[in-house]
Structure 1
Amino acid sequence: MSILDSIFPYAATTEGITVRVQPTFLAEHSRPDQGLWVWHYHVRIENGGTMDVRLLDRHWIIIDGRGVREDVEGPGVVGEQPLIAPGSAHDYVSGCPLSTPSGTMEGSFGMIDGAGRRFRVAIPLFDLVSPHSRRAGH
Protein backbone atom coordinates (compact mmCIF):
# COMPACT_ATOMS: atom_id res chain seq x y z
CA MET A 1 0.00 0.00 0.00
CA SER A 2 1.39 3.39 -0.99
CA ILE A 3 1.19 6.51 1.15
CA LEU A 4 -1.39 7.91 -1.31
CA ASP A 5 -3.55 4.81 -0.75
CA SER A 6 -3.51 5.46 3.00
CA ILE A 7 -4.34 9.17 2.61
CA PHE A 8 -6.97 8.64 -0.10
CA PRO A 9 -8.96 5.47 0.69
CA TYR A 10 -11.03 5.67 -2.52
CA ALA A 11 -9.50 5.58 -6.02
CA ALA A 12 -10.49 4.82 -9.61
CA THR A 13 -8.41 4.90 -12.79
CA THR A 14 -9.81 5.55 -16.26
CA GLU A 15 -7.56 5.79 -19.34
CA GLY A 16 -4.50 6.60 -17.24
CA ILE A 17 -6.24 9.26 -15.13
CA THR A 18 -6.54 8.34 -11.43
CA VAL A 19 -9.09 10.08 -9.22
CA ARG A 20 -8.51 9.71 -5.48
CA VAL A 21 -10.90 10.90 -2.76
CA GLN A 22 -10.65 11.45 0.99
CA PRO A 23 -13.96 12.44 2.67
CA THR A 24 -14.00 13.99 6.16
CA PHE A 25 -17.01 14.59 8.41
CA LEU A 26 -17.16 18.19 9.66
CA ALA A 27 -18.73 18.06 13.12
CA GLU A 28 -18.14 21.79 13.64
CA HIS A 29 -20.32 22.66 10.61
CA SER A 30 -22.98 20.00 11.21
CA ARG A 31 -26.22 20.51 13.13
CA PRO A 32 -27.69 17.04 13.76
CA ASP A 33 -30.47 18.54 15.89
CA GLN A 34 -31.53 20.51 12.78
CA GLY A 35 -31.06 17.61 10.32
CA LEU A 36 -27.79 18.86 8.81
CA TRP A 37 -24.60 16.81 8.41
CA VAL A 38 -21.64 18.26 6.48
CA TRP A 39 -18.53 16.69 4.91
CA HIS A 40 -15.66 18.00 2.91
CA TYR A 41 -13.87 15.86 0.41
CA HIS A 42 -10.33 16.19 -0.93
CA VAL A 43 -10.02 15.11 -4.57
CA ARG A 44 -6.70 14.40 -6.28
CA ILE A 45 -6.66 13.92 -10.07
CA GLU A 46 -3.43 12.34 -11.34
CA ASN A 47 -2.45 12.28 -15.01
CA GLY A 48 -0.63 9.01 -15.66
CA GLY A 49 -1.00 9.44 -19.42
CA THR A 50 1.28 10.89 -22.09
CA MET A 51 -0.72 14.03 -23.00
CA ASP A 52 -2.01 17.08 -21.17
CA VAL A 53 -5.65 16.77 -20.11
CA ARG A 54 -8.07 19.51 -19.17
CA LEU A 55 -10.96 18.93 -16.79
CA LEU A 56 -14.04 20.44 -18.45
CA ASP A 57 -17.00 19.45 -16.27
CA ARG A 58 -18.24 17.32 -13.41
CA HIS A 59 -21.22 15.09 -12.72
CA TRP A 60 -21.83 14.03 -9.12
CA ILE A 61 -24.37 11.48 -7.95
CA ILE A 62 -25.16 12.09 -4.27
CA ILE A 63 -27.36 9.60 -2.42
CA ASP A 64 -28.44 10.32 1.13
CA GLY A 65 -29.13 7.77 3.88
CA ARG A 66 -32.76 7.46 2.76
CA GLY A 67 -31.75 6.60 -0.80
CA VAL A 68 -32.72 10.00 -2.24
CA ARG A 69 -30.56 10.78 -5.28
CA GLU A 70 -29.34 14.22 -6.32
CA ASP A 71 -27.38 14.82 -9.54
CA VAL A 72 -25.06 17.83 -9.60
CA GLU A 73 -23.55 18.87 -12.91
CA GLY A 74 -21.56 21.87 -13.99
CA PRO A 75 -18.39 23.25 -15.54
CA GLY A 76 -15.03 22.55 -13.92
CA VAL A 77 -14.39 22.05 -10.24
CA VAL A 78 -14.53 24.84 -7.62
CA GLY A 79 -14.55 27.43 -10.42
CA GLU A 80 -11.55 25.99 -12.29
CA GLN A 81 -10.96 23.91 -15.42
CA PRO A 82 -7.42 22.79 -14.63
CA LEU A 83 -4.89 21.64 -17.23
CA ILE A 84 -3.02 18.61 -15.86
CA ALA A 85 0.31 17.72 -17.46
CA PRO A 86 1.52 14.12 -17.77
CA GLY A 87 2.97 12.95 -14.46
CA SER A 88 1.35 15.76 -12.46
CA ALA A 89 -1.81 16.13 -10.41
CA HIS A 90 -4.51 18.62 -9.46
CA ASP A 91 -5.93 18.74 -5.93
CA TYR A 92 -9.04 20.50 -4.67
CA VAL A 93 -11.38 20.42 -1.69
CA SER A 94 -15.14 20.88 -1.77
CA GLY A 95 -18.07 20.09 0.50
CA CYS A 96 -21.37 18.26 0.70
CA PRO A 97 -24.27 18.81 3.12
CA LEU A 98 -26.82 16.05 3.69
CA SER A 99 -30.08 15.87 5.62
CA THR A 100 -29.13 12.36 6.86
CA PRO A 101 -26.11 11.22 8.93
CA SER A 102 -24.72 9.15 6.07
CA GLY A 103 -24.72 8.80 2.30
CA THR A 104 -22.55 8.20 -0.74
CA MET A 105 -21.08 10.16 -3.62
CA GLU A 106 -19.70 9.09 -6.99
CA GLY A 107 -19.62 10.48 -10.49
CA SER A 108 -17.38 11.45 -13.37
CA PHE A 109 -15.28 14.25 -14.81
CA GLY A 110 -15.45 15.28 -18.45
CA MET A 111 -11.94 15.65 -19.86
CA ILE A 112 -10.30 16.65 -23.13
CA ASP A 113 -6.80 15.55 -24.06
CA GLY A 114 -4.11 17.35 -26.07
CA ALA A 115 -5.41 15.77 -29.29
CA GLY A 116 -8.91 17.19 -28.71
CA ARG A 117 -10.46 13.86 -27.73
CA ARG A 118 -13.18 14.10 -25.08
CA PHE A 119 -13.70 11.32 -22.56
CA ARG A 120 -15.15 10.73 -19.09
CA VAL A 121 -13.16 9.71 -16.02
CA ALA A 122 -14.79 7.84 -13.13
CA ILE A 123 -14.95 9.35 -9.65
CA PRO A 124 -15.00 6.35 -7.27
CA LEU A 125 -18.00 5.66 -5.07
CA PHE A 126 -17.18 6.86 -1.57
CA ASP A 127 -18.99 6.81 1.76
CA LEU A 128 -20.07 9.82 3.78
CA VAL A 129 -20.32 8.56 7.35
CA SER A 130 -20.83 10.58 10.52
CA PRO A 131 -20.55 9.48 14.16
CA HIS A 132 -24.38 9.70 14.20
CA SER A 133 -24.76 7.04 11.49
CA ARG A 134 -25.00 3.99 13.76
CA ARG A 135 -27.37 5.57 16.26
CA ALA A 136 -29.65 6.78 13.48
CA GLY A 137 -29.69 3.34 11.87
CA HIS A 138 -28.00 4.48 8.63
Structure 2
Amino acid sequence: MSAQFAIPIEVETFYVENQSDAAAERFVFAYTITIRNQSEQKVKLLRRYWSITDANGKHSEVYGDGVIGEQPELPPGTSYTYTSGAVLETPVGTMQGHYEMTAASGESFHAQIPVFRLAIPNILN
Protein backbone atom coordinates (compact mmCIF):
# COMPACT_ATOMS: atom_id res chain seq x y z
CA MET A 1 0.00 0.00 0.00
CA SER A 2 1.37 3.37 -0.95
CA ALA A 3 2.11 5.61 2.02
CA GLN A 4 0.23 8.45 0.35
CA PHE A 5 -2.70 6.31 -0.81
CA ALA A 6 -4.50 4.18 1.76
CA ILE A 7 -6.06 1.39 -0.30
CA PRO A 8 -6.59 -1.65 1.95
CA ILE A 9 -7.63 -4.83 0.16
CA GLU A 10 -9.62 -7.64 1.80
CA VAL A 11 -9.94 -11.15 0.33
CA GLU A 12 -12.37 -13.97 1.03
CA THR A 13 -11.87 -17.33 -0.74
CA PHE A 14 -14.21 -20.22 -1.57
CA TYR A 15 -13.68 -23.71 -2.96
CA VAL A 16 -16.04 -24.42 -5.89
CA GLU A 17 -16.52 -28.15 -5.48
CA ASN A 18 -19.15 -28.62 -8.20
CA GLN A 19 -16.71 -27.28 -10.86
CA SER A 20 -13.68 -29.16 -9.52
CA ASP A 21 -12.44 -32.65 -10.42
CA ALA A 22 -9.70 -34.00 -8.15
CA ALA A 23 -9.05 -37.01 -10.42
CA ALA A 24 -8.33 -34.59 -13.29
CA GLU A 25 -6.22 -32.34 -11.01
CA ARG A 26 -8.67 -29.47 -11.47
CA PHE A 27 -9.41 -27.45 -8.33
CA VAL A 28 -11.60 -24.39 -8.82
CA PHE A 29 -11.58 -21.51 -6.37
CA ALA A 30 -13.49 -18.25 -6.21
CA TYR A 31 -12.34 -15.17 -4.38
CA THR A 32 -14.17 -12.02 -3.41
CA ILE A 33 -12.06 -8.88 -3.17
CA THR A 34 -13.03 -5.63 -1.49
CA ILE A 35 -10.94 -2.58 -2.35
CA ARG A 36 -11.37 0.38 0.01
CA ASN A 37 -10.33 3.92 -0.77
CA GLN A 38 -9.27 5.51 2.52
CA SER A 39 -7.39 8.26 0.68
CA GLU A 40 -8.37 11.88 0.29
CA GLN A 41 -8.82 11.75 -3.49
CA LYS A 42 -10.61 9.63 -6.06
CA VAL A 43 -8.64 6.69 -7.46
CA LYS A 44 -9.15 4.49 -10.49
CA LEU A 45 -8.10 0.86 -10.95
CA LEU A 46 -6.45 0.51 -14.36
CA ARG A 47 -4.77 -2.92 -14.42
CA ARG A 48 -4.22 -6.04 -12.33
CA TYR A 49 -1.25 -8.31 -11.78
CA TRP A 50 -1.49 -11.75 -10.14
CA SER A 51 1.23 -14.18 -9.08
CA ILE A 52 -0.30 -17.64 -8.57
CA THR A 53 1.57 -20.64 -7.14
CA ASP A 54 0.19 -24.14 -6.58
CA ALA A 55 1.38 -26.76 -4.07
CA ASN A 56 3.70 -28.30 -6.68
CA GLY A 57 5.52 -24.99 -7.04
CA LYS A 58 4.00 -24.29 -10.47
CA HIS A 59 3.95 -20.51 -10.88
CA SER A 60 1.90 -18.41 -13.27
CA GLU A 61 1.42 -14.70 -13.73
CA VAL A 62 -1.67 -12.89 -14.97
CA TYR A 63 -1.77 -9.32 -16.26
CA GLY A 64 -4.81 -7.54 -17.57
CA ASP A 65 -6.83 -4.38 -17.80
CA GLY A 66 -9.22 -3.75 -14.93
CA VAL A 67 -11.07 -6.47 -13.05
CA ILE A 68 -14.02 -8.48 -14.38
CA GLY A 69 -14.16 -6.18 -17.39
CA GLU A 70 -14.33 -2.99 -15.35
CA GLN A 71 -11.96 -0.19 -14.38
CA PRO A 72 -13.74 1.06 -11.27
CA GLU A 73 -13.36 4.57 -9.87
CA LEU A 74 -13.50 4.88 -6.10
CA PRO A 75 -14.23 8.27 -4.53
CA PRO A 76 -12.76 8.83 -1.05
CA GLY A 77 -14.43 6.71 1.62
CA THR A 78 -15.97 4.20 -0.80
CA SER A 79 -15.27 0.57 -1.63
CA TYR A 80 -15.57 -1.75 -4.63
CA THR A 81 -16.24 -5.49 -4.35
CA TYR A 82 -16.01 -8.14 -7.05
CA THR A 83 -15.75 -11.92 -7.33
CA SER A 84 -13.51 -13.83 -9.72
CA GLY A 85 -11.82 -17.23 -9.79
CA ALA A 86 -8.73 -19.34 -10.34
CA VAL A 87 -8.13 -22.95 -11.35
CA LEU A 88 -5.22 -24.88 -9.81
CA GLU A 89 -3.80 -28.36 -10.39
CA THR A 90 -3.46 -28.91 -6.63
CA PRO A 91 -5.91 -28.56 -3.71
CA VAL A 92 -3.79 -25.79 -2.15
CA GLY A 93 -2.12 -22.71 -3.56
CA THR A 94 -1.50 -19.01 -3.06
CA MET A 95 -2.19 -15.78 -4.89
CA GLN A 96 -0.81 -12.29 -4.48
CA GLY A 97 -0.29 -9.26 -6.64
CA HIS A 98 -1.18 -5.62 -7.10
CA TYR A 99 -3.54 -3.24 -8.82
CA GLU A 100 -2.09 -0.46 -10.95
CA MET A 101 -4.05 2.62 -10.00
CA THR A 102 -4.13 6.31 -10.75
CA ALA A 103 -5.26 9.13 -8.49
CA ALA A 104 -7.30 12.20 -9.44
CA SER A 105 -4.02 14.15 -9.21
CA GLY A 106 -2.64 12.02 -12.08
CA GLU A 107 -0.18 10.14 -9.89
CA SER A 108 0.14 6.41 -10.58
CA PHE A 109 0.73 3.85 -7.84
CA HIS A 110 0.38 0.17 -6.95
CA ALA A 111 -2.14 -1.07 -4.39
CA GLN A 112 -0.61 -4.29 -3.03
CA ILE A 113 -2.76 -7.41 -2.73
CA PRO A 114 -1.43 -9.42 0.21
CA VAL A 115 -0.72 -13.12 -0.26
CA PHE A 116 -3.77 -15.30 0.39
CA ARG A 117 -4.31 -19.04 0.40
CA LEU A 118 -6.59 -21.09 -1.82
CA ALA A 119 -7.37 -24.43 -0.16
CA ILE A 120 -10.13 -26.99 -0.18
CA PRO A 121 -11.94 -27.13 3.19
CA ASN A 122 -10.34 -29.17 5.98
CA ILE A 123 -7.13 -29.92 4.04
CA LEU A 124 -5.06 -27.70 6.35
CA ASN A 125 -5.24 -27.45 10.11
Asked if TM exceeds 0.5, the reply is yes
Q: Output the CA distance in 1 between the equivalents of 2:55 and 2:72.
A: 32
Which residue of 1 is the match for residue 75 of structure 2? 85
Which residue of 2 is the match for residue 58 of structure 1? 48
Q: Are 1:113 and 2:103 an aligned pair? A: yes
Which residue of 1 is the match for residue 58 of structure 2? 68
Q: Output the CA distance in 2 between the equivalents of 1:133 and 1:100.
A: 11
Pairs within 5 Å for 1:5-84: 13-14=1-2, 15-84=5-74
Q: Larger helix proportion, structure 1 or 2?
A: 1
Q: Is the 8 A contact 1:101 1:132 kept in 2?
A: no
Identity %: 35
TM-score norm. by structure 1 comes to 0.85
RMSD value, Cα: 1.2
Q: SS in structure 2 opposite 1:90?
A: strand
For structure 2, the 5+ residue unaligned runs are: none
For structure 1, the 5+ residue unaligned runs are: 1-12
Aligned length: 122
TM-score norm. by structure 2 comes to 0.93
Q: Given the superposition, is the C-alpha separation of residues 46 and 53 from structure 1 closer, same or farther in structure 2, using an over 3 Å criterion?
A: same
Q: SS in structure 1 opposite 2:95?
A: strand
CA displacement, residues 25-78 of structure 1 (integer Å, 9 cap, x when unaligned) = 111111111110000000000000010000000000000111111000010000
Q: SS in structure 2 opposite 1:33?
A: helix
